[in-house]
Structure 1
Amino acid sequence: MDNITLAIILPISYFIIYQLVKLTLNHISPSKNTKRRPPLPPGPKPLPIIGNVLQIGPKPHRSFANLAKVYGPLISLRLGSVTTIIVSSSDVAKEMFLKNDQPLSSNRTIPNSVTAGDHHKLTMSWLPVSPKWRSFRKITTFHLLSPQRLDACSSLRQAKVQQLYEYVLECSRTGQAIDIGKAAFTTSLNLLSKLFFSLELAHHSSGKSQEFKDLIWNIMEDIGKPNISDYFPCLKWFDPSGIRRRLASNFEKLIEVFQGIIRQRLSLSSGANHKQTWPHLMAPGVRPPIFSINDDVKIFKKAPSSTILLTTYLSCMTQDIFDAGTDTTSSTFEWAMAELMRNPAMMERAQAELQQVLGKVSHIQESDIPKLPYLQAIIKETLRLHPPTVFLLPRKAETDVELCGHIVPRNAQILVNLWALGRDPTVWENPDEFLPERFLNCGIDVKGRDFGLLPFGAGRRICPGMNLAYRMLTLMLATLLQSFDWKLGDGVSPKQIDMDEKFGIALQKTKPLNIIPISKN
């Protein structure tokens, strides 16, 4: 029996059995609870068996935003057998995060795809709030990516941006067009690999960067892709679309790289006359986070001497950070450059600000960033229109929760549509236009306090890499605008730049942005 036949027969069988059991139980033991509870959020009427699956479309963020225009900012859908609640406005997001963050953030709805290799049990992104999750969160937030740690590593970021500058300068001398997204990806990848492993995984002039970029994008695309196995749990073992099998293969490829490096570092560490710690994974001269096998490995629930166990958890945690910190940063940077190429006057204004603040200083420093309000406005406007993730990773309601006068039932899946929040017309004037000026002389930031702009999420699960991403985006953009003018290929006008998008956890440009640098020196 082929996969298509299974995909048809099994959901029908599941639905019939489920309805028969439900009717039998109701007949035997009718509900005695006569108290009315709030209704489900409104939404389109589901079809038998498949529910609203056909209304997802190839770009769910746009489909759900259009449904919100009809049914309101909080809607409910039945995707197969899964009740799904979609949040599409800042007001609903505010009530969700300020009043109901705990019951709506402690658990995840786990896509069938990420169960490949038990990935959901090994990474902070998918773990429920638990001692293990808190330990991972502590390691990441306080030891790896705290503001103090980032300040100590500023010279490292400066060095990676300098490499980007030198690559672009060489291309300007030869008149070579640059794939700007790939260049930003290589910079982000090397920053993280140098930070954690004291080595670089790719070079601007090699094909290795593209291999990593394709691999990480394939992972991000498959995790975010609608999957029939998620809508009908009875199909999860069959994996009819093959997404879990593809992800298992790609996870294995990426983890194999990290495990090899970590095993080497742990081997070096085991020969030293001290505890095995994370310092060997850090850049020289940077005070490392405290991650002692003898102390913190208790979160792994096995013997602290298990190097295999430690290597598995470290490699999965590292993969989690690389997935979240490379493709999302580089795609946001590419969108920013694309918007500026389409709006030359805005690019000129940003360059004039850089010239006024920096003068003849050769390169921007992180301490200069607060003096550049228009450049920061460009970053914020890009994050509003092109958020690093389209939806926050799916949440699962712990209990029945009342939200904006409606019930979010226990075990429902909750999706926060960040793309729609950034275009909420009750918050943003001319929401579909790229207008950095809207962020001048206002206190809106990206730290999860302004609910119309949540590119990194909010609440207890806010992205721990937010500060690193923001610093890198600003440094890269300032460096390339300060030192270079930019032009499109012959015969291409700014308004002809393709702004179509590919859907995944992040949104990538369908066609890479290739532009030609012109050195100002």
Structure 2
Amino acid sequence: MSEASYAPYLPISAELFRAKRLQSFELIRGEEVRGMLRGLRETSGRVVQLRDYLQVMTLGVISRMALGKKYIQEEAATEGGPPPVLTPAEFREMVDEFFVLHGASNIGDFIPWLDWLDLQGYVRRMKSMNRKFHRFLDHVLDEHSRRRRLEGEGFEARDLVDVLLQLADDPNLEVQLSRDNVKAIIQDALLGASDTAAATIEWAISELIRNPKVLGKAAEELDRVVGRERLVTEGDLPALPYIEAILKETFRLHPVAPTLVPHLAREDARVDGFDIPAGTAVFVSVWSIGRDPALWDAPEEFRPERFIGSKIDVKGQDFELLPFGSGRRMCPGLGHGMKVTLLSIANLLHGFVWRLPDGMKVEDLSMEEIFLLAVPRKNPLEAVVQPRLPSHLYMRA
């Protein structure tokens, strides 16, 4: 792809993920995390599926950042108001279907003359999912376009959708954005920033339940730095190196994008004795790198301590750990992803005591993966939470 082809996407990434704007979203992240804690507290002593709460939280954050408000909620925001466009359950169903279908192997792709039969039903399911996404995204775009018309000359872009619609109307843009382009970018932002973060947090909590000593060290750090009279804020995160080490170790063992996005060899190269011709599609298996015994001591063990004092970071310069990729195709949401996952893990550990359901031992907790477009847990984590902080902290808006 030429530099010109990237032109329309540069202001898009800058608009949503530049440092100053990310900082302005701190309130949104804090509110959504606190909402998740309130919901979990209400389940005290009962078995919960953590994934449900994580997906609602991460979707709430990116919806408010990118779309300007929550379009996906259980019920109308005010009594007598319009019904929600989608409920969280409906959106989760769409997201799960998206990742299943994008990671599936369709027989028709390999044997074209069988394609019309749709033997596995994937084409039918893709069309159905596509219609649902289009219906939702059309509603979002129509609502934003209506506000632009009403405000006229006084219109100011408030979110990613506003920026994209302005770019689509710019006749001087070298690469024009169509309505479908705008919808595709919004869809990528919603999926990329919600489900991947939720999967990472779920893996982290799963590993901590399996490793009580690590969980104890994390709780001790939180009590020492934050205390038990308040929740964790983003301002606390730089003073929580062990929590950051837990996240890095989770990235190493459970990268949600196991082969990253495909790269293209721009020139002939030779790697480990293999010739890579220019134009070759290159898939980088960070899953294998994270388990390479030549790079990591006891690679199958969950040891956050390996990152204490280590200079290895996730910013794309240390090839041993590339959860967000590297180079021009690196994930632009690195800053956002780190803030959401760190803040969530820290508050989940600080706010609750975690244990497995009655009768279930640590050895019984399956860590089996399922390979889709991403690699989440095959079975959602089920756990019991018990509040460890004063009750009023969970009730704050």
Q: TM-score range by the shorter chain?
A: 0.7 to 0.9
- 1:485 equivalent in alignment to 2:353: yes
**Residue 167 and residue 501 in structure 1: after superposition, are their counterparts in 2 closer, same or farther (change >3 A)?**
same
Q: Which residue of 297, 309, 329 corresponds with 1:441?
A: 309
- Counterpart of 1:223 in structure 2 is 102
Q: Which residue of 124, 149, 162 corresponds with 1:270?
A: 149
- Counterpart of 1:336 in structure 2 is 204
Amino acid at match of 2:53: A
Report the aligned-residue RMSD.
Answer: 2.7
Contact 1:424–1:452 under 8 Å retained in 2: no
**Residue 146 and residue 232 in structure 1: after superposition, are their counterparts in 2 closer, same or farther (change >3 A)?**
farther
Deviates more, 1:386-395 or 1:398-407: 398-407
Measure the CA separation in 1 of the matches of 2:21 and 2:159. 16
**Residue 400 and residue 280 in structure 1: after superposition, are their counterparts in 2 closer, same or farther (change >3 A)?**
closer
Measure the CA separation in 2 of the matches of 1:325 and 1:276. 27
Measure the CA separation in 2 of the matches of 1:237 and 1:185. 35
Contact 1:485–1:517 under 8 Å retained in 2: yes
Contact 2:316–2:327 under 8 Å retained in 1: yes
Provide the secondary structure at the position in 1 that maps to 2:376: strand
- TM-score w.r.t. length of structure 1: 0.67
- Counterpart of 1:260 in structure 2 is 139
Q: Over residues 148-190 of structure 1, what are the superposed CA-to-partner deviations in whole Å (9 max), with x where a residue is unaligned?
A: 2111111111111110111111112xx3222111211110111
**Residue 322 and residue 344 in structure 1: after superposition, are their counterparts in 2 closer, same or farther (change >3 A)?**
same
- Counterpart of 2:128 in structure 1 is 249
**Residue 137 and residue 217 in structure 1: after superposition, are their counterparts in 2 closer, same or farther (change >3 A)?**
farther
Provide the secondary structure at the position in 1 that maps to 2:322: coil
Contact 2:266–2:278 under 8 Å retained in 1: yes
Q: Number of residues paired by the alignment?
A: 380
Contact 1:186–1:204 under 8 Å retained in 2: no
**Residue 482 and residue 301 in structure 1: after superposition, are their counterparts in 2 closer, same or farther (change >3 A)?**
closer
- Counterpart of 1:176 in structure 2 is 46
Give the deviation of 1:345 after TM superposition: 1.4
Measure the CA separation in 2 of the matches of 1:404 and 1:236. 38
**Residue 289 and residue 494 in structure 1: after superposition, are their counterparts in 2 closer, same or farther (change >3 A)?**
same
Give the deviation of 1:317 after TM superposition: 0.7
Deviates more, 1:214-223 or 1:480-489: 214-223
Q: Over residues 237-271 of structure 1, what are the superposed CA-to-partner deviations in whole Å (9 max), with x where a residue is unaligned?
A: 77654434432331331232122011111111112
Amino acid at match of 1:443: K
- Counterpart of 1:91 in structure 2 is none
Amino acid at match of 1:301: Q
Give the deviation of 1:277 after TM superposition: 5.9
Provide the secondary structure at the position in 2 that maps to 1:274: helix
Runs of at least 5 residues in structure 1 that lack an aligned partner in the other structure: 1-127, 303-308
- Counterpart of 1:131 in structure 2 is 4
**Residue 414 and residue 238 in structure 1: after superposition, are their counterparts in 2 closer, same or farther (change >3 A)?**
farther
Amino acid at match of 1:135: P
Q: Which residue of 155, 162, 166 corresponds with 2:27?
A: 155
- Counterpart of 1:279 in structure 2 is 158
Give the deviation of 1:497 after TM superposition: 0.6
- Counterpart of 2:393 in structure 1 is none
- Counterpart of 1:472 in structure 2 is 340
Provide the secondary structure at the position in 2 that maps to 1:226: coil
- 1:301 equivalent in alignment to 2:163: no
Give the deviation of 1:202 after TM superposition: 3.8
Provide the secondary structure at the position in 2 that maps to 1:508: coil
Measure the CA separation in 2 of the matches of 1:454 and 1:293. 33
Give the deviation of 1:298 after TM superposition: 2.6
Identity, in percent, stands at: 30
- TM-score w.r.t. length of structure 2: 0.87
Measure the CA separation in 1 of the matches of 2:172 and 2:146. 17
- Equivalent residues in 2 for 1:63-102, closer than 5 Å: none
Measure the CA separation in 2 of the matches of 1:297 and 1:421. 44
Amino acid at match of 1:367: G
Give the deviation of 1:394 after TM superposition: 2.7
- Counterpart of 1:124 in structure 2 is none
**Residue 214 and residue 390 in structure 1: after superposition, are their counterparts in 2 closer, same or farther (change >3 A)?**
farther
- Equivalent residues in 2 for 1:28-427, closer than 5 Å: 128-140=1-13, 142-172=14-44, 175-203=45-73, 208-231=87-110, 241-274=120-153, 278-279=157-158, 291-295=166-170, 298-299=173-174, 301=176, 309=178, 311-398=179-266, 400-427=268-295
